[in-house]
Amino acid sequence: MVAEIICVGTELLLGQIVNTNAQYLSQKLAELGIDLYFQTTVGDNLIRLKNAIEIASKRADILIFTGGLGPTSDDITREAVCEYFGKRLILDQEILHRIENYFKRIGVKMPEINKKQAYVPEGAIILENKHGTAPGLIIEENNKIAILLPGPPFEMQPMFEEYVIPYLERFSNQKIFSRVLKFVGIGESSIEERLKDLIENQTDPSLALYAKPFEVELRISTKKSSKDLAKDLLDQMESRVRALLGEYIYGVDNQTLEEVIVEMLMQKGLKVSVAESCTGGLICNKITNVPGASNVFDRGFITYSNQAKIKELGVSDQALKNFGAVSHEVAKQMALGALNNSLADIAISTTGIAGPTGATNTKPVGLVYVGIATKNYVDSFEFRFSGDRLKIKESASKAALNVLRRALISY
Amino acid sequence: MVAEIICVGTELLLGQIVNTNAQYLSQKLAELGIDLYFQTTVGDNLIRLKNAIEIASKRADILIFTGGLGPTSDDITREAVCEYFGKRLILDQEILHRIENYFKRIGVKMPEINKKQAYVPEGAIILENKHGTAPGLIIEENNKIAILLPGPPFEMQPMFEEYVIPYLERFSNQKIFSRVLKFVGIGESSIEERLKDLIENQTDPSLALYAKPFEVELRISTKKSSKDLAKDLLDQMESRVRALLGEYIYGVDNQTLEEVIVEMLMQKGLKVSVAESCTGGLICNKITNVPGASNVFDRGFITYSNQAKIKELGVSDQALKNFGAVSHEVAKQMALGALNNSLADIAISTTGIAGPTGATNTKPVGLVYVGIATKNYVDSFEFRFSGDRLKIKESASKAALNVLRRALISY
């Protein structure tokens, strides 16, 4: 079976929003093992939408629409599909009731125009919308299937996962299963070199690398008829990769570096404090994005000026004069200061040049020192990052979090 | 003239990346006043790409392609377009030379396969690629125009701005000019109510509102033949909006709240310090994202625990016991502490419940207090935000920055 995606909405043709629906649906279809050869985007225009349906019907079996199911006269997907398939729209009392209830729940009287959304093509399968008023619809006719979904992603995605995936699974006997291993502290080309044999000689599961700022993802994918069959294969490949590069892998699938760190701190019953200069609060912000961070994050010192480094962290005048604020020595003193002036068991620090100005002959933009201190030791690391101010802040914050992660492993 | 966008790339059909090229090009075409009725995405497949070209040629005059200009055998856009228009590909020595130079510059020997990128359709207009190896191409044939652009946005966008916009301008005698006014501290519906007459009775320029977390944008747009004609109209409308709601407008077009604040601080020769609890470093991070922030940002205190609030900021035990950490009183004491323990002239603070846990009977998730202190006064404000942890942090940080902005106006 071949699918085609048709996204309906003039706002897409004006570039007012980016089409995340096309990406989401494409990804899901790939996972389901259903082929997709074309995506089409068309405005809120009946003639042009019907033209798109006619073309898509010639080259695909399953037509998936997003958008154009709203209550206004602009919303024409239902009408266009009905006209194409020769179906009548009929009032569905149960849907009307559901829409009225939706408005009751949010404490608003149902506007008369919303009644339009209770008209559905005769014989259609109705997909409940738990996050809005427009129900989804599946129409089967002449060996073609039309699936109509609402445009807002927060309505469309839960509907797709709950109803459309189970519906589509019957059309595919093999799905793509994948697992993402997340690397930090090693570059894409180094990973490629170390995994050369695996990547070149491996067809199932397949391996693909994606580089991000100071982070690389390895996607391991396989097409199988069941989750269990896939799991064994993915487990085996994960073990082989871990045997070669395990120390650089911080997490799997959707885990973030800060989530992994908050979890490690919780498990070990430790608290962290942070002293930031060039990252300017980004590390504290990342850590406090994780729910429950208050159990493990004691405090942060954003010491941008030299005076702040001296007063808040006890960095010595001497060190600032002799080595400069961007130095191994100051990074170490900052980490020690954050440890000693808090209730934390471990502390990290950053000091560097985020740019665009501030570089000297010996200290270029992108030079960053990360410090770490516990009751037993203090250490520091030098990094050289490229990119603009925001990219350097992002890379430096991840480098510091990785220094913390490695220290926690052996704490 | 009608345009159509054809994005080429199997990675788009697999949902591995979101199609930002389609949005970028759509927006630019709208600004140029060139109609766009369809966007098509197709994989790296010669037959299907030729099918897409044939369909697009029937309904558009200008075909804009992105992707498929790379050196590998997967890259087939040049070939497909040449076959459709009956053009031969010929080796262009100047382009070959340019590609060789590109590799010299990055210190790599040119791989043999890159030679393919120096083959161009006979008679094509060549668009230089300053950020990669694939040149862009414009082919004019049979009253149709094909514009071939590279896929990576950082190569495509500069090429479009430098060469394609001037080329396309001849096909449009009216362009869309717009100006965005950015509001903070007032909701979308309140703005709509206050601007009701303007929005309803106004057709040129047109007005459109877009809501973001704790921020609203008003886009004023007009279609005119020259920038000067548009400017007068936009200026007049901006004045009318400012007369009604000027105090809530913090910036224009791409300005961010933190950029406006850093500029105000610079102009007034003032320094700010920040004490954050629930926002956890996000405010410091935003401020330090602005180049030059080190001139006006002294330091930040991320005081997540009560002990940190007491020790770093001098918040009183009494206040924490009597009112709780999330209170007017503690917000004020935090701001005062940040002022008195720094070299700043003005300080702001946040304390609140970002969730998902931490709520009590009287203090729900989303309750946030913002404090502000100068040498002359101290004050605090209560906010109630909705959404998840990240949205509450984002809204609270903008609310605090707006409290700072308003204080700076009259400082």
ipTM of the complex: 0.83
What residue spans in chain B does CATH classification 3.30.70.2860 cover?
A: 175-252
What pLDDT is stored for residue B81 in this prediction?
96
Tell me: pLDDT of A290 over 90: yes
What pLDDT is stored for residue A336 in this prediction?
98
> For chains A and B, what is the number of CB pairs under 8 angstroms?
225
Please, are residues B397 and B217 in contact by the beta-carbon 8 Å criterion? Answer: no
Helix, coil or strand: residue B406:
helix
Radius of gyration over alpha carbons of chain B, in Å? 28
* Sites in chain B below the pLDDT cut of 50: none
pLDDT, mean of residues A351-355: 96
CB atoms within 10 A of CB B88: 10
Please, are residues B209 and B191 in contact by the beta-carbon 8 Å criterion? Answer: yes
Strand-pairing partners, residue A372, are A348, A379
Helix, coil or strand: residue A14:
coil
Tell me: pLDDT of A107 over 80: no
B219 to chain A: closest CA residue: A16
**Chain A: nearest CA to B18, how far in angstroms?**
5
Residues of A with CB below 8 A from B39's CB?
Answer: 12-13, 40-41
Mutation to test the A interface, candidates B108, B299, B351, most A Cβ within 10 Å? B299
What pLDDT is stored for residue A246 in this prediction?
96
Report the percent of chain A where pLDDT is more than 70.
100
Does domain B175-252 fall into CATH 3.30.70.2860? yes
Q: What is the CATH number of domain B2-169?
A: 3.40.980.10
**A206-261 pLDDT tens trace:** 898 887 778 899 989 998 988 899 999 999 999 999 999 999 999 999 899 999 99
Mutation to test the A interface, candidates B285, B295, B348, most A Cβ within 10 Å? B285
SS3 of A195-229: CHHHHHHCCCCEEEEEEECCEEEEEEEEEECCHHH
**Chain A: nearest CA to B405, how far in angstroms?**
20
pLDDT, mean of residues A179-199: 89
What residue spans in chain B does CATH classification 3.90.950.20 cover?
A: 257-409
What pLDDT is stored for residue A68 in this prediction?
94
Residue A6 in contact with partner chain B when CB distance is under 8 A: no
Q: Do B302 and A299 touch (CB under 8 A)?
A: yes
- The torsion angles phi and psi of A203, rounded to 5 degrees, stand at -110, -30
- A257-409 CATH fold: Maf protein (3.90.950)
pLDDT, mean of residues A169-181: 90
Residue B300 in contact with partner chain A when CB distance is under 8 A: yes
Query: How far is residue B370's CA from residue B159's CA, in Å, rounded to a whole number?
Result: 45
**Chain B: nearest CA to A152, how far in angstroms?**
15
Q: Do A26 and B15 touch (CB under 8 A)?
A: yes
What residue spans in chain A does CATH classification 3.40.980.10 cover?
A: 2-169
Residues of A with CB below 8 A from B52's CB?
Answer: 38
Lowest mean pLDDT among A39-53, A137-151, A382-396, B199-213: B199-213
Residue B178 in contact with partner chain A when CB distance is under 8 A: no
Query: How far is residue A346's CA from residue B53's CA, in Å, rounded to a whole number?
Result: 61
Residue A351 in contact with partner chain B when CB distance is under 8 A: no
What residue spans in chain A does CATH classification 3.30.70.2860 cover?
A: 176-252
Mutation to test the A interface, candidates B4, B8, B39, most A Cβ within 10 Å? B39
Give the closest of B13, B16, B30 to A36, CB-based.
Answer: B13
Give the closest of B20, B23, B297 to A304, CB-based.
Answer: B297
Residues of A with CB below 8 A from B355's CB?
Answer: 291
Residues of A with CB below 8 A from B23's CB?
Answer: 12, 15, 17-19
Residue B358 in contact with partner chain A when CB distance is under 8 A: yes
Q: What is the CATH number of domain A176-252?
A: 3.30.70.2860
